[in-house]
A and B are shown apart, each in its own frame.
Chain A
Amino acid sequence: MTHPLVAIRSVSKNFGEFQALKQVSLDVFPGEVLCLIGASGSGKTTLLRCINQLTPVDSGGIWLDGELLGMSERDGRLYRLTARQIARQRLKTGMVFQRFNLFPHKTALENIIEGPVQVHGRSRHDARTEAIDLLRRVGLAAKADAYPAELSGGQQQRVAIARALAMKPMLMLFDEPTSALDPELVGEVLLVMRELAGSGMTMLVVTHELGFAREVADRVVYMDHGAIVESGRAAEVLSAPREARTQAFLSAVI
């Protein structure tokens, strides 16, 4: 059996009194597309943010590519890593946000080359060449010099995907990438994600797009109240859920 790219073991996270994650364990294998579904407040976004360390876990551990995230173990105790070490670990993951979070003072192209130039120390010329390729890949070669305010929501999100890909991550995290979009713009973003899945990228997608999950996901995980209720092959979980809570959620959504 291959090693998981992401191994999540007994991860808990509280925000004050609220238990966002309760002892969550999960594996994500290389090349796998995994969709996280569930009601808001079920912990799926928190889980994603813990993998990218935008939110530190309270207890438990997450390993990415065999490396423990955010902490190091010495003499039976855990020590939190420095901000610099965490920033380095983060380079292995790319994140796409619900609200795009493009840098509004930079053009589409500048948004994409910011990471490669500033963080990887690449030359502007090389970074530009690759960025233009990425823009072509998301179908926005003509919008290289447009500022985010001049782009539609769907275009902004596609630039955001290109920006994440420019860092050459081994794992892509999507936090409800189509939830902030007008309905007619959802398709173009899902198309890019589908293409990305086809290219063999490992993807973890928090989504309400069950159609996308059914078509593209290898596995679907249903979360509720900070815990994984059910997980399995997309067709099985979505068409024939075993758990009553999953059935209730799916019938409420569809």
Chain B
Amino acid sequence: MRTAETLAEGFPDLSQMMIARQLHWRRWIAAAVILVVLAVIGRAFAGGQIEWSYVGRFLTAQVIVEGVVNTMVMAALAMALGVILGVVVATMRLSPNPVLKSVAAGYTWLFRGTPLILQLLLWFNLALVFPTIGIPGLWSARAVDVMTPFLSALLGLGINQGAYTSEVIRAGMLSVDAGQYEAAQAIGMGRLRALRRIILPQAMRLVIPPLGNEFISLVKATSLASVIQYPELLHNAENIYYANSRVIELLIVAGLWYLLVVSILTPLQMLLERRFARGYLRVAR
């Protein structure tokens, strides 16, 4: 064993020397360019023909707030419908029954393959196909009365969402180890109980981040329901600017609200993720 006295010469002790700060001049230039561009854009908007007082005034107008509430209600209900359909369709897709499998694949194909706005218009105009709808002998009604903007929007958005959600959930279910399903079988569980108790809870953990993404898309997609007269945020904003011609101001109002709603969703998603991360959190042994 060599001792300190025998260390080789020619290698000075650097331990007391300061390390100089690096000058990242490229970074400074890049930052400066971006700040200039942003300043130019900001200046343009500040000097543009926008009456900011209108933005402030209409931000909390009753019609706008009602629109926000309607948007959130519709997004939540359509997502709930989408998740329920998604779980059912994903389960059908993974079923050994070829009919269930193809019906599920056909559903996804149909509702992912056509524009959402077209689907909304179809639901809203269902009365043109079926003037009356109901259960023969029990109940019937005129389709125009049943297919309100609310119901049309809910079915249109929810069923479309189900097509996307089913694929997300199917991916989650496929990612659960096959041994989990065998272990569930080995303690006597049937297919559906194993899916519900063992596979889906594990799939949910993986599925929540993409579902959060889907939900944010859906919040904004509710604005499409303005074309079928559902009184959501954008629809109400439009109604106001049809009257007072403050188009940009009201679009900014709507935009700010969408931003706020989406910003609130992110921490909610994190709470949900933590809920489903049971057993996966890194804990010291």
Contacts and interface: CB of A to CB of B under 8 A. Distances in A.
Do A and B pair up? The answer is yes
A118 B190 contact: no
A194 interface: no
Contact of B188 (A91, A97, A148): A91
Interface of B: 177, 179-180, 182-191, 193, 197-198, 201-202, 205, 276, 278-280, 282-283, 285
Given A105-B202, A118-B193, A87 B185 contact: yes
A52 B184 CA distance: 12
Interface residues of A, number: 35
A90 B185 contact: yes
B108 to A, nearest CB: 25
The 4 closest A-B pairs by CB, nearest first: A115-B187, A101-B183, A147-B279, A95-B186
Given A97-B179, A97-B182, A147-B279, 19 more contacts: A52-B186, A54-B185, A87-B188, A90-B185, A94-B186, A97-B183, A97-B186, A103-B180, A103-B183, A104-B202, A106-B279, A115-B188, A118-B189, A149-B280, A149-B282, A150-B283, A150-B285, A166-B187, A167-B188
A105 B187 CA distance: 17
Nearest to B198: A103
Given A52-B186, A118-B189, A119-B188, A99 B179 contact: yes
Contacts of A103: 180, 183-184, 198, 202
A115 to B, nearest CB: 3
A120 B189 CA distance: 10
Nearest to B178: A101
Nearest to A90: B188
Interface in A155-183: 160, 163-164, 166-167
26 contacts: A54-B185, A54-B186, A83-B190, A84-B190, A87-B185, A87-B189, A87-B190, A95-B183, A95-B186, A97-B179, A97-B182, A97-B183, A101-B179, A101-B183, A104-B202, A105-B276, A106-B279, A114-B187, A115-B187, A115-B188, A119-B189, A147-B280, A148-B279, A149-B282, A149-B283, A150-B283
A21 interface: no
B195 to A, nearest CB: 12
Contacts of B177: 101
Nearest to B191: A83
B187 A167 contact: yes
Contacts of A87: 185, 188-190
Which of A97, A104, A115 is the most central at the interface, judged by chain B CB atoms within 10 Å of its CB? A104
Contacts of B183: 95, 97, 101-103, 160
A99 B278 CA distance: 20
Interface in A77-109: 83-84, 87-88, 90-91, 93-95, 97, 99, 101-107
Contact of B187 (A83, A119, A149): A119
A105 B186 contact: no
Contacts of B187: 114-115, 119, 163-164, 166-167
Given A87-B189, A104-B202, A119-B188, A114 B179 contact: no
